[in-house]
Amino acid sequence: MKADKIETLRTRYPWYFDPSVSTLPDGWFHAVDHFLSQLKDIGDLADCVIVRFERMPYGLQAFVAPCQFNWTGESALALVRAQEALLLASQSLCEVCGLPGVETLPGATEGAQAGFFCEEHLSSAAVQVEQEKARWADLAFLFRDGPPALDRSMPEDIRKIAFDYLGKIAAKVREWDQAGYIHIKLAFDEGLLVMRPIYIPGYELIVGMEITEFCSTAEELADTRPYIQDWTDRARTIFGTLIDEGCVIRLTSRQFYILQQTLKIAASMEVGFVLKDCVDWNPGYEVDYDCDTTPHLEKELDGLMSALVVRLGFTETDRPILPEAPGGRP
Ligand SMILES: [Zn+2]
């Protein structure tokens, strides 16, 4: 669901809002909006109910868990009716435009969710499903139990990252004749891409290392949660002494990915590089580093770091103010 729609729901129903709405298609906005308004009407349950939306193979299901037992028979029945109405609405409204009169489109793999599209949006969706089917068939050898059902709620850009990196992994596995020795576990869980390698004894260690790297890169790229979090420990694990003792790194996940690329180059320059700080103060920023080398190489390093500042978006004038992560990276 687009950000403005999510924000509308958050503002309208602060007590009932659940981040799971972000994984739902735009076309179902009104159905969700209506469901939440019904929930609000059912009674003053404001602080004693948890709502979660989940896209099932057959449509949209809302799970509602009361935190206290003050539901009457009447309110419980009203809830069940609202849940049913939501499911029916999702089955009869186009998930792209929200117009009624839809046809069901089966997913690319067995067990994948069906799609619900109006006549106008059905053909392009069907083409996409066919393309995905072909790609899945090509990648099937990477999965122990055949290609997994790919969640339709997975946003387009994350889907692209998943396919890109599965393609890279498949090429590497083929190149080294490792089919059957390396499998991939793939899931999309609460808005996060999970891509993990499973190694079967007898696999080539060096290929395994590369595949592990591919997987974690894909996960990091797909982690678009736009908040700033502390990456200092993570960076220290990856880059060791390149990260100064008092160094602080606070960035979004995308920024951290960019920083990693630069740090790899800095490490290869062998100039005694040390990162002292890299913080998105949001607004404002701080990038501090040190090196111990010839003036010529120092100039080169300064250039690299200036480019980093630009790539991190620090020089953009209309940067959005981003929230801090509640508890850092889980
Ligand atoms: Zn439509």
Q: Give the chain's residues under pLDDT 70.
A: 43-49, 66-71, 111, 150-153, 190-191, 224-226, 320, 322-330
Q: Give 126 Cα–ligand 1 centroid separation in angstroms.
A: 13
| Predicted confidence (pLDDT) per residue in 163-188, tens digit | 999 999 999 999 999 999 999 999 88
Query: In this predicted structure, what is the pLDDT of residue 254?
Result: 74
Q: Give 27 Cα–ligand 1 centroid separation in angstroms.
A: 8
Q: Give 4 Cα–ligand 1 centroid separation in angstroms.
A: 19
pTM listed for this prediction: 0.56
Q: Give 15 Cα–ligand 1 centroid separation in angstroms.
A: 30
DSSP 218-275: HHHHH-----BEE-HHHHHHHHGGGEEEEEEEEE-HHHHHHHHHHHHHHHHTTS--EE
Query: In this predicted structure, what is the pLDDT of residue 49?
Result: 66
Query: In this predicted structure, what is the pLDDT of residue 88?
Result: 94
Q: Give 278 Cα–ligand 1 centroid separation in angstroms.
A: 45
CA 58/CA 106 separation, integer angstroms: 10
Query: In this predicted structure, what is the pLDDT of residue 327?
Result: 44
Query: In this predicted structure, what is the pLDDT of residue 204?
Result: 92
Phi, psi (deg, nearest 5) at residue 292 = -140, 90
Query: In this predicted structure, what is the pLDDT of residue 328?
Result: 42
